[in-house]
Structure 1
Amino acid sequence: MKPITEFKTKFEQHQIIEETTTTPLIMEGQYQRAYENLLDAYHAGLYAGIVGPVGSGKTALCRKFAEDHSLGFSWVTFSDLIRPSSLIGTFDPTLVFKVGYNIDAFIPGPFTLASIEGNIFFANEVNRGEEYVLNTLLDALEEKRLYIPQLKSWITLDENFYFIASMNPSDLRGTRVLPEAFKDRIRVWITLDYPDKEVEKKIIRMNCPELEITDEDLMTLIEIVSQTRQSPVISKPASIRTSIGFAKMLGERCRRLQISPTKEIFKDVGQLVLTQSLEFSPGITPDNVLNEIIERAFHK
């Protein structure tokens, strides 16, 4: 089979035609409260911002909210690379060559599509975006209309359109202070933190149904993760995604060796999973910090 033909076959086998999966989320504690706050903001017609550390479940919460309300879900993760055209859209050069600079050659961006289709638009890590990029959204968020400069036209937003922004803590590297004009258009602010240990245990079990370690060993793992979030020498601690990865790797190691996890296995797997997932203060040796954390977790 020729490479291009083989790729086409594989592409068609794996192409996502329609999203059919549901977003798993433990609706307890802070997640239940945040969901209810988001629900009230939505029905009040007030755009919402969710503030919380990386990997605390902000995106999962918003995805589930969209699914529960049968709304489309579009998102962009903001960074220095995002430009207004990344949100609004741009011309396809090939189509421009054929039909010229008109609507038939225009490829709408995710914000434009959400605006006219009445979907939820999720601005992920919005405080990593450039101010001039955020400014392109001001009219849409205030006056319910969007200017598309490529088409020299204004469009009205669909009445079902809804905007949610997420922010990382302001002390995290790479973040910026949100412009006041943009911040003023977000009327409801919801805070998420890392979940408590019992909820995190349920999250890990839900995402790792094949996991065969005991609750006691899993709570030891969660204690290790929790201590990374409290350490003064760790600037970026373990996220929930890291917890899940840690549990999967630990479970697989123990399955292969056919033993229960020991302190040494925790240290070995912890080094593999945590070293590059965390960010440490300058001059700190990650291996030493992680070993100390694991030792403390075993003596609690």
Structure 2
Amino acid sequence: MTATRGGAPFQPDAAEGPLSAASGADSVVASRERIASGVVGRERELELTLAAVAAGRDIVLEGPPGTSKTTMLSAITAEWGIPLLFVEGNADLTPAKLVGHHNPARVLREDYSPDNFVPGPLVEAMQQGGFLYIEEFNRAPEDTINTLLTAMADRSIAIPRVGRIKAAPTFRVIASMNPYDNIGTTRLSTSVSDRLNRLSVDYQDADAEEAIVALRSGATGPLGERLISDAVAVTRATRRHPDVRQGSSVRGAIDIVLVAQQLAQLRGVKHADAAAYASSDDYTELVFDAMIVALSGRIHIDEAAETTPERVLREIWEDRFILEPHAAAPG
């Protein structure tokens, strides 16, 4: 299969999938520039991921939720004109759900045949030359993960009563894992790890997260600008709080801004009064209320801590709006 974008073919090597030496270099550079235009603050990670998949390799992206992993993969597959098939790794993901199964009703009528086989996401990705993206990879059962070994090593799998399925050149297995969450997870076997490249994807810096929040929320003006700055600051503080096992991703900051904007309207804040309101005590209370809605379900308290999400968020709010301004005051 040859994936195209705008009529320009993406031409991997037939055997392994890397770009051809002659035209591939220019092609992958052009792809990177187009893809990067839609991804905020992930230049290095995007370049490394693109290099791996362009080389025909499978890869695991290891990092917390909300760190643009899906955004990067969506941008790459959109650029290549191929599908991105999502699978959630959990205890219910059986080999049959991943590979596919024969339609029971048709089997009763017709017996087993290739025609009544219903492809699972693995077979679909192989046939369509897409990326099979397995989130929470290490939550899937070991026998399900092992089903991928042949697909990754040989770029083909044998299915009983169907035959051998060969992968199209752009087929890749992409996995993601959260290093901060080890409850209900399994350790990857050496056989699986040996077939996967790995890239750690951590949280972005404050400037990049502010740019993401501005883009996703559409907030502008004096009120919007302060909301963006404060929302990112308190969200990042959840990742440093000693009682929090895992803090919120940038999605929490986006929702703080969106919720706060609606609260401001509900509380009668007019556009002409926005600048003055952003400097008032009412504004800080508005941010706290938005924090409770947007962050209390996103932070995970350490099991040994005798506190609640609401108390933690109140501490973070006080640090931001009471202690920090007081410490910065003259004298």
TM-score category of the 2 structures, normalised to the smaller one:
0.7 to 0.9
> Within 2, Cα distance between the matches of 1:183 and 1:101?
35
Amino acid at match of 2:205: D
Q: Percent identity?
A: 27
TM-score for both structures, normalised by structure 2: 0.77
Which position in structure 2 is the counterpart of 1:183?
193
Partner in structure 1 of residue 77 of structure 2: 66
8 Å Cα contact 1:211-1:248 kept in structure 2: no
Separation in structure 2 between the aligned mates of residue 37 and residue 204 of structure 1, nearest angstrom: 24
Whether 1:285 and 2:298 are equivalent positions in the alignment is: no
Task: Please give the alpha-carbon distance, in whole angstroms, between the structure 1 residues aligned to 2:37 and 2:292.
Answer: 28
Match of 1:46 among 20, 38, 57: 57
CA contact (8 A) 1:95 1:104 kept: no
Alpha-carbon distance between aligned partners in 2 of 1:80 and 1:211, rounded to the nearest angstrom: 44
Q: Pairwise mapping of residues 164-179 of structure 1 onto structure 2 (< 5 A)?
A: 164-169=174-179, 171-179=181-189
AA partner of residue 216 (structure 1): R
Q: Is the 1:26–1:203 Cα contact (8 Å) retained in structure 2? A: no
Listed as ranges, the matches of 1:74-113 within 5 Å are 74-113=85-124
> After the TM superposition, which residues 11-26 of structure 1 pair with which residues of structure 2 at under 5 Å, given as runs?
none
- Comparing 233-242 with 258-267, greater Cα deviation is found at 258-267
1:215 and 2:225 aligned: yes
C-alpha offsets along residues 78-114 of structure 1, whole Å, 9 cap, x if unaligned? 0111111111001222222332221222110011011
For residues 25-44 of structure 1, what are the structure 2 equivalents within 5 Å?
A: 27-29=39-41, 31-44=42-55
Q: CA deviation at 1:152?
A: 5.5
Counterpart of 2:260 in structure 1: which amino acid? L
In structure 2, stretches of 5+ residues that fail to align are 1-34, 270-276, 325-331
2: distance between equivalents of 1:273 and 1:28?
22
Residues in 2 aligned to 1:255 and 1:68: alpha-carbon distance in whole angstroms: 39
Gaps of 5+ in 1: 1-22
Structure 2 partner of 1:135? 146
Alignment correspondent of 2:32: none
- Is 2:131–2:174's contact at 8 Å kept on the other side of the alignment? yes
Q: Go from structure 1 to structure 2 and tell me whether the alpha carbon gap of 1:47 and 1:152 turns closer, same or farther (over 3 Å shift).
A: same
* 1:270 aligned partner, one-letter code: M
Cα gap change, 1:153 to 1:183, in 2 (>3 Å): same
How many aligned residue pairs are there?
Answer: 275
CA distance in 2, matches of 1:128, 1:120: 19
CA change 1:199–1:119 in 2 (3 A) is same
Is residue 291 of structure 2 the alignment partner of residue 270 of structure 1? yes
- 8 Å Cα contact 2:214/2:228 also seen in 1: no
| Structure 2 equivalent of residue 114 of structure 1 | 125
Change (3 A) 1:210 1:289: closer
The aligned runs of 1:239-278 (5 Å cut-off) are: 239-259=249-269, 260=277, 262-278=283-299
Return 228-237 or 97-106, whichever deviates more.
97-106
Mapped contact 1:51–1:169 kept (Cα < 8 A): yes
Structure with the greater alpha carbon radius of gyration? 2
- TM-fit CA distance, 1:138: 0.4
- 2:203 alignment counterpart: 194
How much does 1:120 deviate? 1.4
2:319 aligned partner? 296
| Alignment check: 8 A CA contact 1:84 1:133 kept | yes
Taking the aligned partners of 2:111 and 2:177, their CA distance within structure 1 comes to 39
Q: Which residue does the alignment assign to 1:232?
A: 242
**Structural RMSD (CA):** 2.0
Query: Partner of 1:277: helix, strand, or coil?
Result: coil
The superposition leaves residues 23-76 of structure 1 with CA deviations (integer Å, 9 ceiling, x where unpaired) of 9985344x1111111121122222121110022121111111111121211120
Q: CA–CA distance in 1 between the matches of 2:316 and 2:167?
A: 51
Counterpart for residue 7 of structure 2: none
Does the residue aligned with 1:230 lie in a helix, a strand or coil? coil
Give the Cα separation in 1 of the matches to 2:252 and 2:232: 11
- Rounded to whole Å, the distance in 2 between the matches of 1:144 and 1:119 is 12
Secondary structure (helix, strand or coil) at the match of 1:214 reads helix
